[in-house]
Amino acid sequence: MENSHLSGQTIALASQDESNLQASGETSLLSQNSDELLAEIKDASLSDDNASVSDFDEEEDINNNENYFQTEDVDVLEANNENQKKSELFVGMDFSSDESAYKAYRKYGGDHGFNIRRQRTVKRNNKLVRMVYVCAKEGFRQEPKVNKPHSRRITRCGCKARMSCYLQINGRYKIVTFEPNHNHDLVRTPMKHLLKSNRAMSISQKQHANDADMSGISAKATIEMMSREVGGQANLGFMDKDLRNYIYRKRMAEMKKGDAGAVLEYFQKKKEDNASFFYSIQLDEDDMITNIFWADDRSIGDYNLFGDVVCFDTTYKTNEYDRPFAPFVGVNHHKQTIVFGAALLYDETIESFEWLFQTFLGVMSGKQPQTILTDQCAAMANAIGKVFPGTKHRLCVWHIYQNAAKRLSRVFHGPNQFATDFRKCVDDHENEVEWLSAWSAFLEKHGLTENKWLKDLFELREKWARVYGRQSFTADMMSTQRSESMNNILKKYLKSSYNLLHFFKHYERVLDDRRFKELTADFGMMHTSTVLSAPVEMLQHAVDVYTPEVFTLFQKEYTAIGDYVAKRVNKSEMTSAEYNVSFRGVGKNHLVNYDAANETIHCSCMKFSFAGILCRHALKVLAKKDVRRIPPIYILNRWSKEAKARTISFYHSATPNDTVNESIGKRYSHICRTFREIASVAAEHTELTLCADEAAIQLLEKLMEKKKELVKADKWMLHTSDFELVEEEEEERERS
């Protein structure tokens, strides 16, 4: 392939090309106007430094050079709808653009049984003035390529079939030479669909391939699935290698953009699709991306409802770059993991965390969480103290257990019940004096009074021991395992070869899966009933107000009251009563205070304070007092069925108008849902099928007419951002 931009070389090539045309007698086919135009072009080329000639020696993959969506010629559109008729070309026929001429010859080749390729183009002032299209079997393979080991099969045989087009004064391209005869057999009808000229992936098929690729479905499985939908691979319109090539080129094009460009483009597209989508990118002194935070409107809405407790974890590193992935995670009224936002950090310094927390606080309208659970990190703790001064900071107990197992492995797995004793120090005890005594006994028992790691851990006791956190609402979470769960899910979706753009897209997929599970839980809550363990009014009240998952926890507490004994402590007060509640009258006493006048109850275990549901000790006293319904003050809205009743339609509804300004992929998905329903009904009976076929033909004709109007009115702008990268790559390959 030769592409010269020097004027002297251009002159030589152009002149030589024209003399070759004259020698072969091709110029005799030119009209008088074409002769004048040819002379005009040659004269301009001799004095124009911007003229260039490109030769194309390799057989061209037709799929690599298509740009169907922006320069489609109206005449070709009509021709493409008449697949049953062979297209015909002739000298003097003209086209509105070079692309239209190319597509017309490609269709001609497909109809008659041969592949085509571009052989040569001549440009002047960056405008194509001449194109030569030939049969793919034109010329002969170069000698070095013939004798190579494992060389490809020879396809060229010196075929002379070709079509040349010149730019006319009116701006259209006219066929000036046309040779229809071939020196080889043409492909017969049963095999014509295998020709490159007849193979092309439609935009809907590309979208299908994109969706399958992003879902981790192999190319082979994608081909099989798409083939079934159209009644066999012969009806697809392309071959499996075309799909593999498309996916490969798409990935290569994404990589060429670089991470920064791809990430910015991804966020800008998300912003176009959803004006409420938020993202913030921190740059360093060299304008390089350091930290990124993003959240969509659904995440922001979820935080408004369930942002009282946030789990924040940075232990997961993105595979390719080893950058900390930091999701802000919570729990909804179904006890499911939800995501309030996420970040990719450059490092884990105080400055990075401060920027992130301030950004998060800003997008959440300044609402601080009641409690934040994190892993142990001094820089993070400092940033939390500065940005979230009103938030209770708790350390993840799961990470503490993990560190204990690593640092104290000799005793942790030993025979002296170290793990059990350590867990009791973490979870048990209801007052500080009792806990301090138990901690000292624990250290002495296992000979660890001088252990440095445990001494350092003791200094942080108020952030991990439950005795210091019973008054802090944590939605009954003591660790960031919600974040860990999110990380584990991401690991299933991500591969080590994925770049940042793939990371974002797969994160989006994880988010969609999480939200679909929430939608399923909402549906189950509305249309099914939970079976009570006993026909008790208290349980009936609970099942009416709580979500099924929270009711299950409440019912577990209530059914346990039969094993507990409540003994009155004070007998002088008339409205306020204190009870010692213990397991079968011999276990540990829990002090419960009940005030009948105010309908308040308080237990020393403080389960309601940190979990949001009444404990078995309090329920035992309520039963003793013949209280048959949960006092209203102890029904948290965040655990109730009504937690987001006003927002369900906002979260899960979609109207046709929503798709007007969305990306082509979303519009395609939307219209597919409608046509699946049509196909399902039409397939039930032959007459319904015929009716659907007739309506589909009429609809297609109507759409093509509308498309013509848009093209003529210069309004043909498809937001094909999912495919632009590939098209740019294809254009670059064609120019090279």
Higher pLDDT, 10 or 67: 67
Listed in sequence order, the residues at least 6 apart from 547 whose beta carbon sits closer than 8 Å to its beta carbon are 333, 334, 335, 521, 525, 639, 640, 641, 643
Q: Is the pLDDT of residue 433 over 70?
A: yes
Q: Is the pLDDT of residue 92 over 80?
A: yes
- Output the pLDDT for position 492: 56
3-state secondary structure of 267: helix
Among 165-169, 418-422, 487-491, 506-510, the range scoring the smallest mean pLDDT is 487-491
pLDDT digits (tens, 9 = 90+) for 174-228: 999 999 999 998 887 777 667 776 677 777 778 777 777 766 677 788 888 887 7
- Output the pLDDT for position 491: 57
pTM for this entry:
0.62
* HEC assignment per residue over 680-735: HHHCCCHHHHHHHHHHHHHHHHHHHHHHHHHHHCCCCCCCCHHHHHHHHHHHHHHH
Domain spans in the chain, listed from the N-terminal domain onward: 3-199, 274-368+498-526, 537-639
3-state secondary structure of 430: coil
Q: Is the pLDDT of residue 256 over 60?
A: no
| E-assigned strand segments in 136-201 | 162-167, 173-179
pLDDT band at 239 (very low <50, low <70, confident <90, very high): confident
3-state secondary structure of 444: helix
What is the token pair recorded at 365? 């309208």
pLDDT digits (tens, 9 = 90+) for 602-655: 999 999 999 999 999 999 999 999 999 999 999 999 999 999 875 554 454 444
What percent of the chain has pLDDT above 70?
A: 74
Closest by Cα among 319, 381, 370 to 348: 381
List b or e across 467-488, with b for residues whose CB sees 16 or more CB atoms inside 10 angstroms. bbbbebbbbebbbbbbbbebbe
Among all chains, which residue has been given the structure tokens 């906002």? 650
Closest by Cα among 313, 320, 363, 353 to 486: 313
Higher pLDDT, 479 or 713: 713
Q: Is the pLDDT of residue 275 over 80?
A: yes
pLDDT digits (tens, 9 = 90+) for 550-603: 999 999 999 999 999 999 988 766 778 999 999 988 878 999 999 998 999 999
* HEC assignment per residue over 374-385: ECCCHHHHHHHH
Q: Is the pLDDT of residue 18 over 50?
A: no
Cα torsion angle, 656, 657, 662, 664, sign: positive
3-state secondary structure of 477: coil
Among all chains, which residue has been given the structure tokens 């002194």? 285
Among all chains, which residue has been given the structure tokens 């702008």? 717
